[in-house]
Amino acid sequence: MIVAYQGEPGAFSEEAARSFFGPKAHLLPVQSFKDVFAFAAKHGSHHGVVPIENSVYGSVHQNYDLLLKHKLSIVGEVKLRVQLHLMTLPGVSLKEVRSIYSHPQALGQCEEFLRRLKRVSVVAFYDTAGAAKMIREKSRRDAAAIASARAASAYGLEILRRNVESNHHNYTRFIVLSSKRSNHKVGEKTSLVFAVKNVPGALFKALAVFALREINMLKIESRPLIGRPWEYLFYLDVEGSTADERMQQALDHLGELATLVRILGSYPFGKTIKS
């Protein structure tokens, strides 16, 4: 089994993939989320892991769009507490650091810490772990990276300042993708996307199909459908599996009301791990 993730070894996605698949899985770093989906779609034993939601930044709409484009199922999830650390080659002090490298979003999450530093340039890099790798490969004693503890140990860097992120309640939820259908029998939650016409009561009727059958909603989010200004897409997570009769009936009922329904998968609740 091979599991693709976006980034370099040491990336948060790698950590999520490792925690889900255990020490024996072969993990494959690729360049973009698109590549993760394409890889997972290729072969039944291939999987992919991508972030879908962050507690500070909200949903990763790009990955919801890719879910709609590809015929993949969500077969699992992992919640990761994101911790960002400033790291350098061993023995380097903060005074020697002239440049700090990391992914744009990680830099955004450390804005308060970075603003306090003087005479340091903040450089965007394609990946948090990639920044750590570059410092090791180029033996840069004038530079630091902001990345995970895993990246520090992967590239032999020393953590100079721990938890430089502004918001410590920073969680990212990752989903596990497969071209095989999810195993409904172990499903504890079901993710789906649907669209309804923008007429009064349309969303309410759509949600009624679950509420009237006492199926609990876990997450809901609306999003305007690009190019169709009067229609909305809804991302919904509900409790239970598509193997349940009540759930099947609710989804059939939803099919009567919605202009589009796509079941993304039924899967067990994910564990929360610390990075």
User: Which residues contribute to the site for a second copy (CB under 8 A)?
Assistant: 55-62, 104-105, 107-108, 111, 115, 121-126, 169, 198-201, 203-205, 207-208, 210-211, 214-217, 219-224, 226-227, 239
Nearest distance, CB of residue 11 and a second copy, angstroms: 15
Of 45 and 142, CB closest to a second copy: 142
Nearest distance, CB of residue 4 and a second copy, angstroms: 18
Nearest distance, CB of residue 161 and a second copy, angstroms: 18
Question: Residue 260 is encoded by which pair of tokens?
Answer: 């589009």
Question: Strand pairing partners for 224?
Answer: 232
**Spatial contact of 193 and 118, defined as CB atoms under 8 Å apart:** no
Nearest distance, CB of residue 159 and a second copy, angstroms: 21
C-alpha 58: how far from its chain's center? 10
**Spatial contact of 212 and 254, defined as CB atoms under 8 Å apart:** no
Residue 259 annotated as catalytic: no
**CA-based end-to-end distance of the chain:** 24
Amino acid present at 28: L
Rounded Cα distance between 27 and 5, Å, is 7
| Vertex 212: Cα angle to 207 and 215 (nearest 5) | 75
Nearest distance, CB of residue 47 and a second copy, angstroms: 24
**Spatial contact of 242 and 266, defined as CB atoms under 8 Å apart:** yes
Residue 88 annotated as catalytic: no
Q: Which of 88, 128, 172, 190 is catalytic?
A: 172
Strands (E), 19-142: 26-30, 46-54, 58-59, 73-81, 85-88, 99-102, 121-124
Question: Residue 267 is encoded by which pair of tokens?
Answer: 């899967």
Q: Which of 12, 33, 37, 174 is catalytic?
A: 174
φ, ψ dihedrals at 260, nearest 5°: -160, 135
Residues with catalytic roles: 172, 174
